[in-house]
Amino acid sequence: MSFTPPALPLDLSGRVVFVLGAGSAGPGWSIGRASSVTYARLGAHVCVADRDAASAEETTALIRAEGGTAETFVGDAADEADVVRLFGEARERFGTVDVLHHNVGIGKTGGPMETSAEDFDRIHAVNVRSLLLATRQVLPGMVERGRGAIVAISSIAGMRYLGYPHLAYGVTKAAVTQFTRMVAQQYAAQGVRANTVVPGLIDTPRIATTVAKMFSDTSLEEAKAARARQVPVGRMGTAWDVAHACAFLASDAAAYVTGTELLVDGGITGKFV
Ligand SMILES: NC(=O)c1ccc[n+]([C@@H]2O[C@H](COP(=O)([O-])OP(=O)(O)OC[C@H]3O[C@@H](n4cnc5c(N)ncnc54)[C@H](O)[C@@H]3O)[C@@H](O)[C@H]2O)c1
């Protein structure tokens, strides 16, 4: 009797991956941008969606420059009409969506007294409502084909108090995780997997504003160094660290992984202080 172990199926050849929030808050590698490029490197056709057209175009151009396939789609992830249109355009271009990577996320520092109801509603709409809207767009096709993967980006701020008030962000990121767990349970038997990636302190262009607020009395470089020192592995994560975890969950390498959270945090969540 011979047994040939299967090769690691870390491959997305021919799969259509829709990245909602695939631009970047500033020049450089955001999580959505690095994930989009990673999916394309694994052979996927990537739908690069963002409300920021120029930033999304940049991601698309990076993929095409490497010989990959990508198309830009522009709209507001929190707006139902926009989301319906975005996924309609994606289906027109690529026929289907095999993987939804929900990446959009916004926040505003402050606790209950600093967070207006309007701010809270907007952050919830962008971080959570968008996940409902996008999931509603992809599930019917996934169920019909008996195959699909949803990768949602949460944050360790949805699990822990990170030393400064970031209430609406943390609450909505916790909701992202539970939303994904519930979809995973309901649709597991129909071939749809849903998982959450939980990044820790990641060095993306957008932290230039958020970190600066946390350590307002120091320079950005000093603030980043202080942030890195908090992490057991001694550095902040890169967008690629997160992208590689997403690629695993999106691919058949994670065929038996659903309804769970993958921490990409350099060990910080397990730390006592
Ligand atoms: N950077 C970190 O340290 C960190 C840590 C944990 C979790 N995260 C999460 O990872 C994700 C990406 O983070 P990032 O640092 O790369 O941020 P980023 O701001 O660079 O990327 C988010 C993208 O989403 C887009 N976007 C925002 N609102 C939108 C809307 N309403 N419609 C369409 N597009 C919209 C932005 O234009 C941007 O291109 C976010 O969900 C964030 O909360 C980041």
Active site residue 256: no
Q: Which atom of ligand 1 is nearest to the CA of 201?
A: 3
Q: Is 249 in the pocket of ligand 1 (CB under 6 A)?
A: no
In a domain, 215, yes or no: no
Domain of residue 127: give its range: 16-200+238-263
In a domain, 269, yes or no: no
Q: Write down the pLDDT at residue 272.
A: 85
73: CATH: 3.40.50.720
In a domain, 231, yes or no: no
Q: Is 106 in the pocket of ligand 1 (CB under 6 A)?
A: yes
CA of 103 to the centre of ligand 1 (A): 6
Structural domain count of the chain:
1
Q: Which atom of ligand 1 is nearest to the CA of 237?
A: 3
Kindly report whether the global pTM for this prediction surpasses the value 0.85. yes
Q: What are the C-alpha distances in Å from 18 to residues 28, 33, 74, 133?
A: 20, 12, 12, 13
Q: Is 207 in the pocket of ligand 1 (CB under 6 A)?
A: yes
Q: Write down the pLDDT at residue 208.
A: 83
pLDDT in tens, 19-49: 999 999 999 999 999 999 999 999 999 999 9
Q: Write down the pLDDT at residue 13.
A: 98
Q: Write down the pLDDT at residue 2.
A: 81
In a domain, 229, yes or no: no
Q: Strand 99-102 relative to strand 192-199: parallel, antiparallel, unpaired?
A: unpaired
Q: Write down the pLDDT at residue 212.
A: 65
In a domain, 232, yes or no: no
In a domain, 3, yes or no: no
Q: Is 60 in the pocket of ligand 1 (CB under 6 A)?
A: no
Please tell me the distance from the alpha carbon of residue 164 to that of residue 230, in angstroms, as a whole number.
14
Neighbours of 27 (CB within 10 A): 10
Spatial CA neighbour of 42 closest among 237, 193, 191, 246 = 246
Is residue 103 within 8 A of residue 196, CB to CB? The reply is no
Protein residue whose Cα sits closest to atom 1 of ligand 1 = 202
Q: Is 32 in the pocket of ligand 1 (CB under 6 A)?
A: yes
Neighbours of 112 (CB within 10 A): 9
CA of 80 to the centre of ligand 1 (A): 19
Q: Is 266 in the pocket of ligand 1 (CB under 6 A)?
A: no
Q: Which mutation among 106, 154, 169, 238 tests ligand 1's pocket best, with the greatest number of atoms within 8 A of CB? A: 106
Q: Write down the pLDDT at residue 213.
A: 66
Protein residue whose Cα sits closest to atom 4 of ligand 1 = 202
Q: Which atom of ligand 1 is nearest to the CA of 125?
A: 31
Q: Which of 39, 161, 164, 169 is catalytic?
A: 169
Q: Write down the pLDDT at residue 29.
A: 98
Per-residue pLDDT of the chain (273 residues; tens, 9 = 90+): 688 988 999 999 999 999 999 999 999 999 999 999 999 999 999 999 999 999 999 999 999 999 999 999 999 999 999 999 999 999 999 999 999 999 999 999 999 999 999 999 999 999 999 999 999 999 999 999 999 999 999 999 999 999 999 999 999 999 999 999 999 999 999 999 999 999 999 999 998 877 766 666 778 889 899 999 999 999 999 999 999 999 999 999 999 999 999 999 999 999 987
In a domain, 213, yes or no: no
Is residue 159 within 8 A of residue 174, CB to CB? The reply is yes
Please tell me the distance from the alpha carbon of residue 258 to that of residue 184, in angstroms, as a whole number.
6
Please tell me the distance from the alpha carbon of residue 64 to that of residue 237, in angstroms, as a whole number.
26
In a domain, 118, yes or no: yes
